[in-house]
Chains A and B, each alone.
Chain A
Amino acid sequence: MEGRQTTTPKKESCDQQAKCLKRIQSILDGGATDEEKQYFKDHIEVCQPCIDMYHLEKCIKEALQGKVEKKCCPEKIAAAIQAEITK
């Protein structure tokens, strides 16, 4: 009984989707509690909507981190600050 290795069909709907989404975000942000991490680990294997949400959230976070241009401070501003404080 315990030795079953067959792949169990995944749930097609999640009755706690809003809560799960919050958990997923906490995990991706590195702010999840141990309890949240454990729940997620157990749940993600069996719940298709949560797998999809996880991929989407991760992808959006990565797009924000990696694709959105990071503006650099113009040299003249750094120079103006230095000039002002050494007056």
Chain B
Amino acid sequence: MTTMPEIMSDTQLQGYTDEQKYQVFNKEFMPHIDSMYNFAFRLTMDEDDANDLVQDTYLKAFRFISSFEQGTNAKAWLFRILKNSFINDYRKKSKEPAKVDYQDVETTYNSDEAAETEHTTDLRFETVQDMIGDEVASALNSLPVDFRTVIILCDIEGFTYEEMAKILDIPIGTVRSRLHRARNLLKDKLKEYAASMGYNKNDE
């Protein structure tokens, strides 16, 4: 039932034997399962949904393995399938509270260049250094999913702009600008969080 033209159109079909399919699957795909799970969890914010999403993604990857060319970037290929599965199958039922419309946020940040520059300076790097992982994760989790996604791909998974463009099906320029806005939002969240925890009490 599921069609994946975006994957099929990218590469020439590979004529793997059944044995080769298992080999490719185990050698090229399975080593990325923890990164895939982490991505799924950060997208869905729910362990059960992350389990289902990873499983669905791997089964799709196996079904469409003939469109994967050995030696190419398996991790990016898998992340792309996972991202598409998330958008198509999970986003609707995601437990994310009060979804912020991405376009609204993007417009807000586009229209106010001054705010972009202003808020970059009043979060101190020492404040971030003092934070623990859970606090940084909370700030990340509070971002709208499109912004969260680019930060996960770039900063946590270390994908290049080019790889991110392929995974997300957007131009590199959009990757850069979305990352820029995502980071500004993240800094706002970190700053709010720091203020609420009293991290900035000596900054007056």
Contacts and interface: CB of A to CB of B under 8 A. Distances in A.
Interface stretch (B7-15, B50-58, B70-78): B50-58
A80 B56 CA distance: 11
B128 A56 contact: yes
In the complex, which range does the number of interface residues on chain A fall in?
Answer: 35 or more
A65 B155 contact: yes
B50 A71 contact: yes
Contact of B117 (A17, A29, A31): A17
Interface string B145-168: 000000100111010110000000
Interface centre among A26, A31, A55, by most B CB within 10 Å? A31
Given A25-B179, A63-B131, A64-B151, A69 B137 contact: yes
Interface of B: 22, 25, 30, 33-38, 41-42, 50-51, 54-55, 58-59, 62, 113, 116-117, 120-121, 123-125, 128-129, 131-134, 136-137, 140, 151, 154-156, 158, 160-161, 176, 179-180, 183, 186-187, 190
14 contacts: A17-B120, A17-B121, A21-B116, A29-B154, A29-B161, A31-B176, A52-B125, A56-B123, A60-B190, A70-B34, A71-B34, A81-B33, A81-B55, A85-B25
